[in-house]
Structure 1
């Protein structure tokens, strides 16, 4: 894809669900750490936008739209992972991180979520999903965890278990950056990931927030046996990742009362999710 074609992308649609949901606001303390494209921290692609951390070389957040009523089945065969020529190469982690090891290139905005609209549009979204700006490393213990399987099924779960209005969902997701993240090849690898799914049910805006981590209790050691998916509140996420989400999500998320972090059980299956 050419640089000119990339520049024409409209990206994430804030009004996709009929309510205005702006992209996450980055804490002022992190403002200088954000890559800007034409003065904006939001870098647009087909059906998604993202903000890149200069110091980490990964997306701090990705925002994407899912139109479940027009999803296409498209192969990923022949598509290469690429750095985005619109932003400086030094702010992107590419094949120099992933080659010659067992690190997986994990999509933040899932490829399958983006393949909707007209066929040309869906094909462009397919290609766009492979930019390294939408990729984060997934380590062996991440992939081998049985509980991590819940993480990859969250989008299917909302469509299966909820009467999603117009079959439309807006999603936000990204890695959690910590100073204690393990360094490899000069790059600190994130070990936690977060996701928020937003939808309408019978005209009411609702949301559910999740965290993939080794433990939700910050007082316990991090060196545990496997990653677990937890359902969390948006205020919990905001504190953990230094982002602020649209005010419209706060009352929607607040409908769910959760136990204290140290008492909360991980999601053993998608049936444990409280929509």
Structure 2
């Protein structure tokens, strides 16, 4: 159950919530993934999933979203947020990522991804950039093929105070993702006397941001126009999905989460970090 920080054979833990926010955070373990639920925002602060690409199982998708009965319903952004509007229940942990291993285990993992703590409101419909966001893990998985096809992936909304209010929550306009893998390709690891994993593997990681903030055209920018501020009763204005590869240090600063090991393992070229985020239009734009 839950996210395994040693899944890759090297340490790759969940990003850490600041101590000042720990009392408002609940850890929920599912099959092969974990959600750190922000009970004040009613959305995930962090999710983490272990992906064994060599033993993924193809199961029917389904669409049976359920509240997690281990925590109160009013701690979760439940079905009322998505009723009679164009908002999608966006999976944070992708449905297929934890669906691996023995079939009964994979079947439970598949169902577990349809729990409301693993959802966040996203713009409805697909466009090229949204498809790119959903396919990033596949692209990195192919890149990591020599490393037993294993990934650890952390994803969550960027929970900002200025996010638009709607039906008792604030709808996030940006999402972040860190994809991590091991670079040495060693399939076997030794166990020391105390049970710890010992090997010479090295962690590698890449960081990404998905932005669905409203986009103004050039004329509107020149006129100083701003997106219409939605009321609590109105569906928030959301823009087209834009995907960026970013320095993981920027993600740590943006989210306030502890990501030291991922920052140290980042594959974003330091020479480019000062030039800003890298807009992605296709998988080949990713720098690994």
TM-score when normalising by structure 2: 0.81
Instruction: State the alpha-carbon separation in 2 of the partners of residues 222 and 207 from structure 1.
Output: 36
Instruction: State the alpha-carbon separation in 2 of the partners of residues 188 and 110 from structure 1.
Output: 22
Partner of 2:282: 269
Identify if the C-alpha distance between structure 1 residues 164 and 177 changes in structure 2 by more than 3 Å, giving closer, same or farther. Answer: farther
After TM superposition, the runs of 4+ consecutive aligned structure 1 residues lying more than 4 A away are: 220-225, 260-263
Asked if the contact 1:175–1:194 (Cα under 8 Å) also holds between the matched residues in 2, the reply is yes
Please give the root-mean-square deviation of Cα atoms over the aligned residues, in Å. Answer: 2.2
CA apart distance, 1:249: 2.2
Partner of 1:137: 121
Asked if the contact 1:164–1:200 (Cα under 8 Å) also holds between the matched residues in 2, the reply is no
Instruction: State the alpha-carbon separation in 2 of the partners of residues 180 and 252 from structure 1.
Output: 31
Q: Which segments of 5 or more consecutive residues in structure 1 lack a partner in the other structure?
A: 1-9, 36-41
1:97 to 65, 77, 81: 81
Partner of 2:109: 125
Q: How many residues align?
A: 252
TM-score when normalising by structure 1: 0.85
Identify if the C-alpha distance between structure 1 residues 214 and 88 changes in structure 2 by more than 3 Å, giving closer, same or farther. Answer: closer
Partner of 1:6: none
Identify if the C-alpha distance between structure 1 residues 103 and 110 changes in structure 2 by more than 3 Å, giving closer, same or farther. Answer: same
2:244 to 204, 226, 230: 230
Identify if the C-alpha distance between structure 1 residues 20 and 162 changes in structure 2 by more than 3 Å, giving closer, same or farther. Answer: closer
Asked if the contact 1:232–1:258 (Cα under 8 Å) also holds between the matched residues in 2, the reply is no
Of the structure 1 ranges 105-114 and 227-236, higher mean CA displacement relative to structure 2 is found in 227-236
Of the structure 1 ranges 253-262 and 145-154, higher mean CA displacement relative to structure 2 is found in 253-262
CA apart distance, 1:27: 1.6
Partner of 1:250: 263
1:161 to 131, 143, 165: 143
Larger Rg computed on CA atoms: 2
Q: For 1:92-141, what per-residue CA distance to the aligned partner results, in whole angstroms no more than 9, with x for missing partners?
A: 0111111111111111000111110000000000010000010111123x
CA apart distance, 1:225: 5.5
Instruction: State the alpha-carbon separation in 1 of the partners of residues 119 and 103 from structure 2.
Output: 24
Asked if the contact 1:60–1:174 (Cα under 8 Å) also holds between the matched residues in 2, the reply is yes
Q: Which segments of 5 or more consecutive residues in structure 2 lack a partner in the other structure?
A: 185-200, 214-220, 228-237
CA apart distance, 1:32: 3.0
Instruction: State the alpha-carbon separation in 2 of the partners of residues 164 and 138 from structure 1.
Output: 34
Asked if the contact 1:58–1:135 (Cα under 8 Å) also holds between the matched residues in 2, the reply is yes
Partner of 1:31: 22
1:48 to 26, 33, 36: 33
